[in-house]
Amino acid sequence: MSEKTTIYDIAKELNISAATVSRALNNNPKISESTIKLVMDTAAKMNYKQNRLALALRSGKSGNIGVIVPRINTNFFGSVIRGIEEELHPNKYNVIICQTHEDESREIENINTLLDAQVDGIMISITNESKKNEKIIHRVLEKNVPLIFFDRKKNIDGVSSITIDDFKAGYIATKHLIDQGCKKIAHLCGDQSLEIYENRFKGYQKALLDNGITFDETYVIQSKSNIEDGISVTNKLLQLKTPPDAIFSASDFAALGAIQELKAQGIQIPKDFCVVGFGNEPFTKFMELSISTIDQSPLEMGKMTAKVFLEQMNNTEDFKMEKKIVLNPILHIRKSSSRQNL
């Protein structure tokens, strides 16, 4: 294997000092444009690669941003990452993506790895189990590394966040079901230790109250964001003495499982039972029985997360600025809950 080209090789080729080569490669204003061009051209010809870690140590900037998500195999997080990259790439930043798989210890490991890699900032959607990780979050802040929450967040002073109005989302989804004539509305909720799921539940509860429907706690069951849980939870609901006539699910995947179980039991949707999901996953609109759902605007969320980071980096007077941006949820009404044409 051939040895890597060094600045000393370039200096020898051009008969100039290694210090001059180093300054030219870093666009030092003391070096003439003609010399910079000559060094750059020679470096390219000799296939010279700068040591990014060494450069980061010298400049204090790596040009890398860490993005931590629970998982990337959903349209939501994939779209958020796309939005982040679309804003950061023109500003010469590269994105390093990490997954926690809803494992708090893995989340801590990811943060430590990104800090060791000298990233210029960390953008994170916390795990379902994030109950003991405030120590590592404060380590990020102590190192003056910008930290921004998106979707799932903790309320920490000096940390910006970009979320949607989950309370409003829960409210409008439930109100829509009430408007369709549903009276016994169940809620497949997420982990209530996470603020987003707690707020969706509170929105659901308030919509019932405002419309004169008594809240029944037996209609609220925690469900994981997967099809299998949606099936099993719906089966339990249908075995109640007074089963529900609608479901508002905090997840599109659980909503899909609910629909599969309802169909298996011969229940007609939406004539006898209505379903609304959450997330606007692509499959929700392409199914024969399309699923009504809440759109979280993930692309916009990603772009806003990146913009807040860039604004923070460019604001030398208030490096630890804090912004709380709340996006508006959008309800897409589809066949699973629309009784208008029946």
Domain that holds residue 14: 7-50
Residues 217 and 227 in one domain: yes
Asked whether residue 333 is assigned to any structural domain, the reply reads no
304 — pLDDT class (breaks 50, 70, 90): very high
Closest to 200 measured CA to CA, from 167, 163, 225, 165: 167
Most confident of 127-136, 189-198, 284-293: 284-293
Among 24-33, 51-60, 208-217, name the one with the lowest average pLDDT.
Answer: 51-60
Among 54-58, 93-97, 225-229, 245-249, name the one with the lowest average pLDDT.
Answer: 54-58
Asked whether residue 336 is assigned to any structural domain, the reply reads no
Asked whether residue 12 is assigned to any structural domain, the reply reads yes
Asked whether residue 335 is assigned to any structural domain, the reply reads no
Among 19-28, 199-208, 222-231, name the one with the lowest average pLDDT.
Answer: 19-28
If you average pLDDT over residues 65-73, what whole number do you get? 92
pLDDT at 1: 38
Cα 314 to Cα 116, 146, 147, 307, 317, distances in angstroms: 23, 12, 15, 10, 9
Residues 76 and 20 in one domain: no
- Phi (first) and psi of residue 27, to 5 degrees: 55, 40
Report cis status (omega within 30 of 0) of the bond before 270. Answer: yes
Q: How many CB atoms lie within 10 A of CB 127?
A: 25
More confident: 56 or 87: 87
If you average pLDDT over residues 254-272, what whole number do you get? 96
pLDDT at 280: 95
pTM of the predicted structure, to 2 decimals: 0.81
Residues 266 and 278 in one domain: yes
Residues 181 and 272 in one domain: yes
- The domain total for the chain is 3
